[in-house]
Structure 1
Amino acid sequence: MVGTMWKATVLVAVFMFSPGGDGLFPSLYKKARVSVPRKGDVGEPLFLTPYIEAGRLEEGKGRSMVPPFPGSNVKSYAGYLTVNKTYNSNLFFWFFPAQVDPTVAPVALWLQGGPGGSSMFGLFVEHGPYFVTSNMTLHPRDFAWTTTLSMLYIDNPVGTGFSFTDDPQGYAVNENDVARNLYSALVQFFLLFPEYKENDFYATGESYAGKYVPALAHYIHTLGPMVTTKINLKGIALGDAYSDPESIIGGYATFLYQIGLLDEKQRKYFQKQCDDCVKYIREKRWLQAFEVLDKLLDGDLTNNPSYFQNITGCPSYYSILRCEEPEDQNYYGKFLSLPQVRQAIHVGNRTFSDGSEVEKYMREDTVKSVKLWLAELMNNYKVLIYNGQLDIIVAASLTERSLRAMKWKGSQKYKQAERKVWKIFKSDNEVAGYVRQVDDFYQTSLGNRSSAWPRTCVLLGSGHSTPSSGVQLVVAGQHVLPRWGKGWAATLKLVTNTTLSPPTLLVNAKHIER
C-alpha cells in the first residue's frame, strides 16, 4: 500500500480536458457581476469573532447557520471572521459539513485563484453541492465534494468577493500576509466548530492558489505542534498551479508556438519578452517583471488588450478550444445579488469585490515563487498536483517544467522515471492516460481519444474542475484526499447535465491498488 511506508505522498495528474474557470489574473471572475439590491431585506453582516472571543460559541454557530434554499436540504454555515482589528479586515466563509459521516470526514479548505477570484466560483461552478440555473434556482450537483468532504470556502485574500477591509493597509501584498490572515481565520473557525478540529485537514485550490495553499500550509508547518489550536494538516491539492512563475513564464513562447497560437515571428517576440521577465525576476525587480507579463498576457492593469489578446483574437487563455467562457459560469453572480440570498448567507449589504484592488496590491507577488515552500511540503505531506491538458496559462507541460526545476527528495527519480500507458481496466481497448511513478509520486495524463466532444475527466479529490466547450468538468473529491496512501483510479461514465448541451464525462472514484 502506498503511504504505509512513506511519510509524504505526492500525486501529479494531467487530465485531457480544458481547465478554465480560473487563471493567472481574475479577468474571468469580473464577468460575474454581484450587486447590492435596491429593494428587499438583505439583513445584516454577521461578524463571528466577537462571539468566539466571548466564548459564546454555540450562539455564534447557531447564528451562522444558513437556512436551506428552496429545493435543497444541504446544511451550511456562513459569516465573517475578523483577521485584523486595526484595519477591520474580515474574511468571508461558507462551510458545508460532509453529507456522509461529517464527524470523521476530512475538512478541505478551497481557495480560488486570481489573485482576487472569489471561492464562490468554486462553490457554484465547480464542486459545491449545487449550481445556479438560468432562472436563479439551485440544482443539486451529481458529484459534489461536499458529499464526503466537509468543504470550507473562503474568499481570499482580504478584499476578494465578500471579504473586505476598511483600510488600504489591510490588503495583502505578499504570501506571508495571505498565510497569516488565513491562519487566523482557520484558528477561529476550529474554535467555532470544535467538533472538526481533530479531523484530517487539507488545503486545496487552483491556479494562483498554487501560491496561497503552499503559503498557508508552510505557515502551519513551521508553527509546529506547540500552538494552542493545532490544525491537523495532512496534505494539499493544487490544480493548474501557478506556484513558480519563473519556470512557467520561461516556457510560454515554445508552448504557444507548438499549439499553433504563435507563428515564428511572434514566437521570437514572445520569447524575448519572457526572457526579459525572467531576467527581472532573477534580479528581484518584481514590478518591472509584472509590467512585462501584464502587457504580454493579461492587459489587466494597462487598460489595453495584451499582446496575446491582439495576436490570437482571444480574450481568454483558459483553453485552446475556446476564446470565451460559457455564460452559465456567471449565473452565480446574479444569484448572490438576490436579497434573500444575501440575508441567508449573512453578508447584508456588503459590496462584492471583483478582485481589481487585490490584484493591484499583489502586483509584485505575481512573479514571486513559492517553490521552496512547496518542496518542503512535498517532503513532509501528501501532495496532489494536477493539470488540464488543454490549459494555456498553466499548461501541463509548464507544470512539468516547474517540477523539474524543483529540488525535493524525489526530484532525481522523477527526472529519470519512465512514463507508462494506463487503462482504467486492463481489458479496456481505449487508453485512459499515462502514468509516471516515482515511489509515491504520480504524474498522470487522462483522456478518451474516441470522443467527438472535448471530454472532461474527473478524479476524486483532484481539487479542480472546469467547464469548457460546453462540457463541464465535475470533480468529486469524495475519496482521493483521505485515500492517497492507498492508491487511486477512476471509473468513467457519461451522464447528461440538463444545463449543458453535450454530455458530461464524470469520473466516479473506484479504488485500485498500486
Structure 2
Amino acid sequence: MEHLKVFTGLLLFIAISPGSPGTVPAKESWGYVDVREGAHMFWWLYYANDATRSYEELPLVMWLQGGPGGSGCGFGNFEEIGPLDRDLAPRNTTWIKAASVLFVDNPVGTGYSYTDSEEALTTDVAMIAADMMVLLKTFFSGKAEFQSIPFYIFSESYGGKMAAAIALELTKAIEQRAVKCNFAGVALGDSWISPTDSVLTWGPYLYSTSLLDDLGLVEVSRAAKAVQLAVEQGQFQRATELWSITESVVEENTNGVNFYNILTPDPDEKVKLTAETGYLAALKRRHVQPLNRRSLSQLMNGIIRKKLGVIPKNVTWGGQAGEVFTSMEGDFMKPVVDIVDQLLAAGVNVTVYNGQLDLIVDTIGQELWVKKLNWAGLPVFSQERWTALQDPAAPEQTGAFYKAYKNFSFYWILKAGHMIPSDQGAMALKMLRMVTQQE
C-alpha cells in the first residue's frame, strides 16, 4: 500500500467580501490514500486552533458526511464546521476551536476521492468500513502525534450508518493492533441507522406539526408501509425505490416540505416522479444536488482545487456523487441497529444527536430504534429524566436536552434541522465539547 502523502500549510485565504483581506491561520494538511487498487480516498486535516491549548491537549474528530455521496471536505467543511464558510469568511462556531478535525471524502467516488472505474465503487457499509481501516491505519502511522490523542468519529445522516460500521471495525482493528489510535467514541447525528423507523414516522410527525391533513396522513402512511414490507422481504433495492416514491407522496401532500428542515423553504426546484425522470433522478435532485450547490461547486473546483494542488485533472469535485448513491442503492435501506448494539456491548461510547426540525431522519424515528436496542443499560437509560441545556447563542433560551447513562447518550437539539451545525452552530459546538468531555 502506498505511504501517506501529506501536504502541509497555513490556512491563508483572502475573504471574498470586498475590502476585507482577513486571514485565519491554522495548521492543516491533506492528501490521498490508495485504499484499494483503483480506489483513492482524499482527506483534509485541520489542527485544533485554540488560544489557550495546543492541539495535543485537544481531541481529534473525524467528520463523515451523508448521502452516500456527500463531500465532507466540501459541505461539512465549508457549510457546517470548518474554519471558513462558503464565502471564505471566518466561522465563529468552527469545531477547530475545540478539536482537530479530519474531513474525509468517503466513500471513494465522493468529492475529491475517486476511482479508476465504476467497478471500484463501494456497494455496502462493510466495504466502506474496510476502505476506512486502510485510510486510518495509514493516517495514524504517518501522523504518530495523533496516536495517543482521544479520537472521535462524528457523523451526519448516512454518514452515521457508515460511522457505526467503521467504529465497530476500528474497535476490532485496535484490539488486533492493526491500527494504533486512542478511539474514544462515535457520535451519530441525524443518522440513517434504521431507515424503516424514519420513514414510518414521517406521517405522524408531519401530522403533529400541521403539515399533513387526515387524508394526507393516510396516503403517506400507506406509502411508508410499502417500504416497510419491501425491507421485511429483503428487497432492499426495491425498498430504496419505494422510499423515493414515499418522498414524492410527502411532497404532494405538504406543498413541497423541505425534508432537511420543515420550517425552511426549499430553494431547489421540485422534481416530480415521472416516467421520464425516474426515481433515481428525483432522489439525486433532493438529496445529492443540495450538497453540490453551484457556489460551493465553483469554490471547490476553483480556488480550493488550486490551493490543494494534488487533485488529478480528471477529477471534478462533486461530479461522482450520483454514481456513489447508485452503487449503494441496494444497501441504502438496510438497518444497522445491531451494529450499535455491538458497539455498546463492547464498551464503546455512543452518542446519538438529532435536530428537532429534521424530517428525513426525524427524532421520533430515532427514538424508536433506540428503544429496540438489546443494550443491558437501556431500561435504566429509559427511566432517566433529560437535562435542559442553555443555548450559548441565546442563554435565556433552552437550546437542547440530553441524557446519558454509562456509555450511551442522546441529545435533542432544538430549532435545528438535518444539518445541525448549520442551523445551530453554537449549540453544536457546545455538544461537541460535552461529548469529548471538555465540559
| TM-score normalised per structure 1 | 0.71
Counterparts in 2 of 1:264-283, with a 5 A limit?
A: 264-283=214-233
Q: Distance in 2 between matches of 1:234 and 1:463?
A: 23
2:13 aligned to which of 59, 69, 72: 69
Q: CA deviation at 1:69?
A: 2.5
Counterpart residue number, 2:195: 245
CA distance in structure 1 between the aligned counterparts of 2:197 and 2:120, rounded to whole angstroms: 31
TM-superposed CA distance for 1:202, in Å, is 0.7
Residues 224 and 76 from structure 1, CA distance in 2 versus in 1: closer, same or farther, beyond 3 angstroms?
A: closer
The aligned counterpart of 1:110 is 63
2:316 is the counterpart of 1:316: no
If each structure's helix is expressed as a fraction of its own residues, which one has the higher value? 2
Secondary structure of the corresponding residue to residue 92 of structure 2: coil
For residue 299 of structure 2, what is the aligned residue in structure 1? Answer: 335
CA distance in 2, matches of 1:388, 1:296: 21
Indicate the residue corresponding to 1:405 in structure 2: 372
3-state DSSP class of the match of 2:56?
A: coil
Give the number of equivalent residue pairs. 398
Identity %: 24
Do the aligned residues in 1 keep the contact of 2:8 with 2:27 (CA within 8 Å)? no
Return the match for 1:375 from 332, 341, 355: 341
Matched ranges for 1:326-365 at <5 A: 331-338=295-302, 340-345=303-308, 346-349=310-313, 350-354=315-319, 355-365=321-331
Taking the aligned partners of 1:351 and 1:411, their CA distance within structure 2 comes to: 46
Range with greater deviation from structure 2 (176-185 or 311-320): 311-320
Counterpart of 1:466 (choices 401, 412, 422) is 422
User: What residue is the counterpart of 1:196 in the other structure?
Assistant: 146
For residues 273 and 217 of structure 1, the distance between their equivalents in structure 2, rounded to whole angstroms, comes to 33
Q: Could you tell me which runs of 5 or more consecutive residues in structure 1 were left unpaired when the two chains were aligned.
A: 1-48, 53-59, 298-305, 448-454, 485-510
| Greater relative contact order (CA < 8 Å, ≥ 6 in sequence) | 1
Change (3 A) 1:201 1:419: closer
Tell me the CA shift for residue 399 of structure 1: 1.0
Q: What is the root-mean-square deviation of aligned Cα atoms in Å?
A: 2.9
* Equivalent of 1:80 in 10, 17, 32: 32
What is the CA–CA distance in structure 2 between the aligned matches of 1:436 and 1:106, rounded to whole Å?
22
1:307 corresponds to 2:249: yes
**Residues 109 and 152 in structure 1, CA contact (< 8 A), matched pair in contact too:** yes
Q: Secondary structure of 1:108's match?
A: strand
- Aligned CA distance change for structure 1 residues 335 and 473 (closer, same or farther; 3 Å): farther
Residues 352, 409 of structure 2: 8 Å contact kept: no
Please give the alpha-carbon distance, in whole angstroms, between the structure 2 residues aligned to 1:145 and 1:422: 19
Match of 2:107 in 1: 157
1:404–1:83: structure 2 CA closer, same or farther, 3 Å change rule? same
Partner of 1:123: 77
Paired letter, 1:210: G
AA of the residue aligned to 2:260: Y
Say if 1:334 and 1:463 are closer, same or farther in 2 by CA, change over 3 A: closer
Q: Are the structure 2 counterparts of residues 406 and 197 from structure 1 closer, same or farther at C-alpha, using a change threshold of 3 Å?
A: same
Distance in 2 of aligned mates of 1:241 and 1:373: 13
Change (3 A) 1:143 1:430: closer
- 1:107-151 CA-to-partner distances (Å, cap 9, x unmatched) read 111010011111021111111111122xxxx21111211123111
Distance of 1:80 and 1:384 partners within structure 2: 29
Q: Contact conserved, 1:238 with 1:463, CA < 8 A, in 2?
A: no
Distance across 2 between alignment mates of 1:392 and 1:212: 20
Deviations 1:217-246 (A, max 9, x none): 011123342224323211011111111112
**What secondary structure is seen at the aligned counterpart in 1 of 2:41?**
strand
2-side partners of 1:313 and 1:289: how far apart? 24
Residue equivalent to 2:162:
212
| Aligned residue among 86, 105, 114 for 1:132 | 86
Contact 1:248 1:402 in 2 (8 A): no
Alpha-carbon distance in 2 for matches of 1:233, 1:67: 27
2:141 & 2:210 partners in 1: Cα distance? 52
The corresponding residue for 2:48 is 98
Structure 1 Cα separation of the partners of residues 181 and 35 of structure 2: 17
Q: Which amino acid aligns with 1:466?
A: S
CA distance 1:231–1:419, change in 2 (3 Å): closer
State the distance in 1 between where 2:360 and 2:172 align: 31
SS in 1 for 2:162: helix
Task: Specify the alignment match of 1:386 in structure 2.
Answer: 353
1:264 to 1:78, Cα distance in 2 relative to 1, 3 A: same
Q: 1:288-344, CA deviations, whole angstroms, 9 ceiling, x for partnerless residues?
A: 2111111111xxxxxxxx222233232631111123259997633221122x43132
* Distance in 2, Cα, partners of 1:316 & 1:431: 24
The one-character-per-residue Cα deviations of 1:325-381 (angstroms, maximum 9, x if unpaired) are 59997633221122x431321214321234110111111111101111112223312
Matched with 2:382 is 415
Letter in 2 for 1:130: L
Question: Helix, strand or coil for the counterpart of 1:365?
Answer: coil
2:160–2:191: 8 Å Cα contact kept in structure 1?
yes
Q: Which amino acid aligns with 1:352?
A: W
Distance 1:474 1:131, change over 3 A: farther
SS in 1 for 2:114: coil
Q: Residue type matched to 1:124 in 2?
A: F
**Is residue 257 from structure 1 mapped to residue 199 from structure 2 by the alignment?**
no
Instruction: Tell me, in whole angstroms, the C-alpha distance in 1 between the residues paired with 2:48 and 2:416.
Output: 25
Q: Give the SS at the match of 1:195.
A: helix
Q: Distance in 2 between matches of 1:99 and 1:251?
A: 41
Q: Using the TM superposition, give the Cα deviation of residue 437 of structure 1 relative to its aligned residue in structure 2, in angstroms.
A: 5.1
- The 2-side partners of 1:230 and 1:433 are apart by 35
Asked if structure 2 preserves the Cα contact closer than 8 Å seen for 1:66 and 1:344, the reply is no
- Are the counterparts in 1 of residues 354 and 411 from structure 2 also a CA contact under 8 Å? no
Contact kept, 8 Å, 2:80 with 2:419, in 1: the verdict is no
Structure 1: distance between partners of 2:254 and 2:203: 13
Q: Which runs of 5+ in 2 are unaligned?
A: 15-22, 269-289
1:253-290 deviation per Cα after TM superposition (whole angstroms, max 9, x unaligned): 22222222222222112212211211221221111211
